[in-house]
Each structure stands twice: as structure tokens, then as C-alpha cells.
């Protein structure tokens, strides 16, 4: 965490020195889902909102670090069969996301531009809950202790700048498992998000 904050402060100092600096708040709409290697596990989509701050350093080619408060998770379900008991658990995570996007301006027009962006994303899990089913026909393999505290992902997407507003649309693909194994079941569950965000360039 200290290293990440140091990198952000160093980036901010450099951007101020070069004078090519944008800062502002942003809010977003997210859908999240968990992908697993188990064919009999179904994951439904969870919808939520996020908010935070973004910086942009540079013009045609630019860096865009952000710090975002995000909610993510999914509902995992397996129907009971002759060999296996049913699973019905909901995972909810509160995370501080720190993406670092590398962006390229593709098209410039009078009042804005169109951009491409991609880069790594670190999610620090600050709160995690897992629902428990009390009924006898269900098992509850996933516990909060099974969930990783740091989630790595890659963001890919694009954006439009219009006057003082900036709109980003991106997909987030998990790199490491947030749940590798639980109760001797190999979940290898990764997060996948779709994010639409609106930012306001104050500076």
C-alpha cells in the first residue's frame, strides 16, 4: 500500500512539473461477475456504483491513475443433484481500486477527443461478506477467509472527452483468483467487470 501511494505521489509531482495535468472526481456504474472453472456453478451479475478521483498526465499519449471506491461480487449457485449438494452463496466485496491507465488520443475534434486506454488494476479488499444458507440441502463452501485481500486485473476500453467532462467505458479482466480453493472445491474464481464512468475535469 505504501509503495502504491508513493508511486501516485511521484506521478503527481512529475505531472505538476510538466504542466500537463488534469484532476477531478468521477462516478461510475459497474456490473461484476465471477468466472470459475466449474461447469456446474452458475454466476449471476451484480450491479453497483463506484466513485473516486482520477488524474491525467500528458496529452496525446497520457497516463491516467485513479483511486476508486468500488463494490463488486457475484451470486454463485449450483443446483442439487444425486452426487452433489446445492450451493447458493452471495459474495460482496468493498474495494479500493487503483488503476493505472495508459491512454492514446485517437481522434481530436473541436470540443473534445476520442481515446483508447488500457492498464493494470489493483483492488485492495477492505470489506468482504459471504452469505450462508441454513437449509440442509445446501453447503456453504466459501468463507470470508478464502477470499484474497489483493486482486489484480487488467482494464481495456476507451473514452470520450467533451468540454470539461470525460466518459470512460472499459472491461476489467481478473488475473489472480479471488477464491482459489474452498472446502476442497477448486473454484479458481476470477472477477470480471464492465464499467461506465463519468468524470469532471476540475483542473
pLDDT given for residue 12 in this prediction: 57
Distance from C-alpha of 96 to C-alpha of 85, rounded to nearest angstrom: 35
Q: Where are the domains of the chain?
A: 2-12+23-78+85-200
Q: Which of 171, 130, 187, 123 is nearest to 151 (CA)?
A: 123
What is the assigned CATH class of domain 2-12+23-78+85-200?
Answer: mainly beta
DSSP letter string, the chain: -HHHHHHHHHHHHHHHHHT-EEEEEEEEEEEEEEE-S-TT-EEE-EEEEEEEEEEEEESSEEEEEEEEEEEEEEEEEE---SSS-EEEEEEEEEEEEEEEEEEEEEEEETTEEEEEEEEEEEEEEEEEEE----STTEE----GGGS-SEEEEEEEEEEEEETTEEEEEEEEEE-S-SEEEETTEEEEEEEEEEEEEEEE---
- Supply angle C-alpha 38, 98, 188, rounded to 5: 10
Q: In which band, very low, low, confident or very high, does the pLDDT at 66 lie, cut at 50, 70 and 90?
A: very high
Distance from C-alpha of 143 to C-alpha of 88, rounded to nearest angstrom: 13
Among residues of the chain, what percentage have pLDDT more than 70? 90
pLDDT given for residue 7 in this prediction: 56
Of 82 and 164, which is predicted with more confidence?
A: 164
SS3 string, 124-172, reads EEEEEEECCCCCCCEECCCCHHHCCCEEEEEEEEEEEEECCEEEEEEEE
- Asked if 203 and 181 count as a contact pair (C-beta separation under 8 A), the reply is no
Of 141 and 10, which is predicted with more confidence?
A: 141
Report the sign of the C-alpha dihedral through residues 97, 153, 28, 18, in that order.
Answer: positive
| pTM for the structure as a whole | 0.86
Q: Which of 106, 85, 153 is nearest to 125 (CA)?
A: 153
Q: pLDDT digit string (tens) for 96-135?
A: 999 999 999 999 998 999 999 999 999 999 999 998 888 8
Mean pLDDT, residues 166-187 = 92
Amino acid at each position: 500500500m505504501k509503495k502504491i501511494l508513493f508511486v501516485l505521489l511521484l506521478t503527481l509531482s512529475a505531472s505538476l512539473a510538466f504542466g500537463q495535468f488534469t484532476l477531478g472526481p468521477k462516478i461510475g456504474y459497474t456490473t461484476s461477475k465471477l468466472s470459475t472453472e466449474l461447469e456446474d456453478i452458475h454466476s449471476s451479475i451484480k450491479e453497483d456504483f463506484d466513485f473516486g478521483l482520477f488524474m491525467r498526465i500528458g496529452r496525446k499519449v497520457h497516463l491516467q491513475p485513479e483511486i476508486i471506491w468500488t463494490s463488486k461480487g457475484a451470486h454463485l449457485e449450483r443446483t442439487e443433484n444425486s452426487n452433489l449438494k446445492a450451493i447458493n452463496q452471495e459474495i460482496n466485496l468493498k474495494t479500493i481500486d487503483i488503476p493505472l491507465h495508459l491512454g492514446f488520443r485517437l481522434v481530436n475534434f473541436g470540443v473534445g477527443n476520442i481515446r483508447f486506454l488500457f492498464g493494470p488494476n489493483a483492488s485492495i479488499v477492505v470489506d468482504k461478506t459471504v452469505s450462508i444458507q441454513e437449509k440442509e440441502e445446501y453447503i456453504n463452501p466459501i468463507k470470508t477467509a478464502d477470499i484474497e485481500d489483493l486482486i489484480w486485473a487488467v482494464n481495456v476500453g476507451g473514452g470520450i472527452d467533451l468540454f470539461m467532462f470525460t466518459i470512460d467505458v472499459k472491461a476489467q479482466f481478473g488475473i489472480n483468483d479471488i477464491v482459489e480453493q474452498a472446502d476442497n472445491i477448486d473454484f479458481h474464481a476470477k472477477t470480471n467487470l464492465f464499467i461506465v464512468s463519468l468524470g469532471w475535469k476540475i483542473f
